[in-house]
Amino acid sequence: MLIELLSEGVVIAGITYFVTRKIDQAKHDIYVEQAKQKAKAIEHEAQLLLEKQKSMLKEKEIELERNAKMELGRLKGEYHSKLDNLIKKEERIEETRREIRKNENAIKNEYRQIDTLREHYEGKYNEMAQIIENASGLTKDEAKAIAVSKAEEAARAEIANVVRRAESEARMEAKKKANYILAQATTRFAGEFASERLINTINLANDDLKGRIIGKEGRNIKALEMLLGVDIIIDDTPNTIIVSSFNLYRRAIATKTIEMLIEDGRIQPTRIEEIYEKVSKEFEEELMEEGNRIVMDMGISDMHPELIKLIGRLKFRASYGQNALAHSLEVAHLAGIMAVEMDGDERLAKRAGLLHDIGKALTHEYEGSHVDLGAEVCKRYKEHPVVINAIYAHHGHEEAASIESAAVCTADALSAARPGARREVLENFLKRVQEIENIATAKVGVVNAYAISAGREVRVVVNAKLINDNEAVLLAKEIADEIEQGVQYPGEIKVNVIREVRATHIAR
């Protein structure tokens, strides 16, 4: 029974395998047939695309050939047109050449005619000159000299007229602009001037301190004067001693040292030296702080520390009683305002104005003028060329080479010349006035000259028979130029030439 069942199972399995295999074989044949059909369809589509591309390429080829023929035709047309133009230009050039040659021949003929006329003219001129010479009794050279002299006189009068007219117009225009700039500068900056004295007074609690300052056999006062470099005057004025020196810096240190000694109470040579060293160190620090403060307030950067210290030292320097630092600050502010009005560099003008008198901080220690010392120290510390030019130009050593330098020169004159800004020694003032009058009276035709308005104006009286109106203009200019070159003065000097004609007749 079991055997029969196994046999039937084997038979059924064989039949199942055979049927399954036949079914798979049939499916495979169907897939192969479908794949062949798809391949044929793809091949057909590819053939159609190929034919389409060939057709498009053929059309493109035809179009490009047509465009090429059109472009070739256009280029040929341009070529022939340009060729025709060149031919025409060559023809015009050749025609111009023929005209030039014709004109050259005509010009040569004219030159020959001119030479013939010149020879004829010279012959007639010599004949006329001989006739005039015989009639006047003058030789040719004498007559020429007279003619040249008359021509020079006429030319001088004409030049004087032109100069007077041009100067008048330029002066009016320049005066308007200058007045506007000065008005802007002076109204926008109102600085105080600081007048310096040559002495400092120290108040004492009682007169007993005078003896202690003098010391035994004058030992203390000698030590003070030798160390401080000042004169200490102790007289009968109650509760007062006087410190005298032309050097403001030394005088300030001396005053502070004596005041600290009085406060300390120990007045002796050793203590004097200690206090002096302490005060000197404090002053040096204060100078640096003062210089830094001023530079920051002015908006100036990149300045060498030594120059900053010298700016602080200007506080203890005066010129004709005017404090040098106050003057430099005033010049810097005025120059900055003027530079802005003239489209210049405001900061550079302020820098040049602040440093224009920097040499005055060195004149007590070194030989030479403050101009040369200031220019040298600024060159050493690589200052801007405009600053150095302003230092030289504000005293006429060089011409102002920029707007900023010119502004500094004007501001310096404005600050120094305003009433009350400076004091002047009477002897120097009289000497300057005399020099101005001597320059004027040395001119030919001048009768007298008077310096008035504290030397700011000179009136020159001339002989009306020797100097005419036109020559008076030139004479004023010559005197002004000579004063500029030969006289040192602050501000400006006005030269007035006065020509007066008086007609007198007596009725009998």
pLDDT one-digit tens code per residue, 48-104: 888 888 888 888 888 888 888 898 888 888 888 888 888 888 888 888 888 888 888
Q: Is residue 356 part of a domain?
A: yes
The mean pLDDT value for 477-496 works out to: 84
Residue 324 in tokens: 């040098």
73 vs 162, higher pLDDT:
73
Judged by DSSP in three states, 341 sits in helix
- Domain stop point among 389, 417, 445: 417
Domain final residue, candidates 417, 443, 463: 417
Q: Give domain status of residue 318, yes or no.
A: yes
Distance CA 221, CA 232 (A): 7
- The DSSP bridge pattern shows strands 199-203 and 240-244 to be antiparallel
- Look at the chain and report how many structural domains it folds into: 2
The CA distance from 448 to 500, in Å, is 13
Same domain, 316 and 336: yes
Of the candidate ranges 12-21, 87-96, 333-342, 488-497, the one whose mean pLDDT is the lowest: 12-21
Query: What's the rounded Cα separation, in Å, for the pair 403 and 250?
Result: 38
- CB count within 10 Å of CB 329 equals 22
State whether 383 and 252 are in the same domain: yes
One domain for residues 239 and 380:
yes
**Residue 468 domain-assigned?**
yes
Per-residue confidence band for 135, with pLDDT thresholds at 50, 70 and 90: low
User: What is the C-alpha to C-alpha distance for residues 352 and 337, in angstroms, rounded to an integer?
Assistant: 13
**Residue 309 and residue 412 share a domain:** yes
Question: Would you place residue 195 in the very low, low, confident or very high pLDDT band (cuts 50, 70, 90)?
Answer: very low
For the chain, state the CA radius of gyration: 52
Model pLDDT for residues 338-377, shown as the tens digit of each residue: 888 888 888 888 888 888 888 888 766 777 788 888 889 8
Instruction: Give the H or E element holding residue 201.
Output: strand 199-203
Q: How confident is residue 151, by pLDDT bands cut at 50, 70 and 90?
A: low
393 and 456 housed in the same domain = no
What CA–CA distance (Å, rounded) separates 457 from 441? 15
What pLDDT, in 10s, does the model give residues 372-415?
888 898 989 888 888 889 888 887 788 888 888 888 888 887 77
Q: In what order do the strands lie in the sheet with 199-203?
A: 199-203, 240-244, 231-233
| Cα atoms in the Cβ-side hemisphere of radius 13 Å centred on 245 | 20
Distance between CA atoms of residues 220 and 241, nearest Å:
14
The mean pLDDT of 183-204, rounded to a whole number, is 57
pTM for this entry: 0.47
Q: Is the Cβ–Cβ distance between 200 and 247 less than 8 Å? A: no
pLDDT attached to residue 38 = 84
Q: Which of 372, 354, 353 is nearest to 363 (CA)?
A: 372
Spatial neighbors of 405 by CB under 8 A, at least 6 apart, are 352, 386, 389, 390, 393
Q: Are residues 340 and 243 in the same domain?
A: yes
Domain span holding position 468: 426-499
For residue 194, pLDDT over 50 is answered with no
pLDDT of residue 176: 60
Asked if residue 442 and residue 362 are part of one domain, the reply reads: no
**CATH value at residue 478:** 3.30.300.30
Pick from 37-41, 150-154, 203-207, 415-419 the range whose average pLDDT is largest: 37-41
Give domain status of residue 484, yes or no: yes
Residue 433 lies in a domain: yes
pLDDT at 318 over 50: yes
Rounded CA-CA distance 335/356 in Å is: 11
In this structure, the answer to whether residues 383 and 437 fall within a common structural domain is: no
State mean pLDDT over 207-232: 79
Q: CA 487, CA 477: separation in Å to the nearest integer?
A: 15
Q: What is the rounded average pLDDT for all residues in the chain?
A: 79
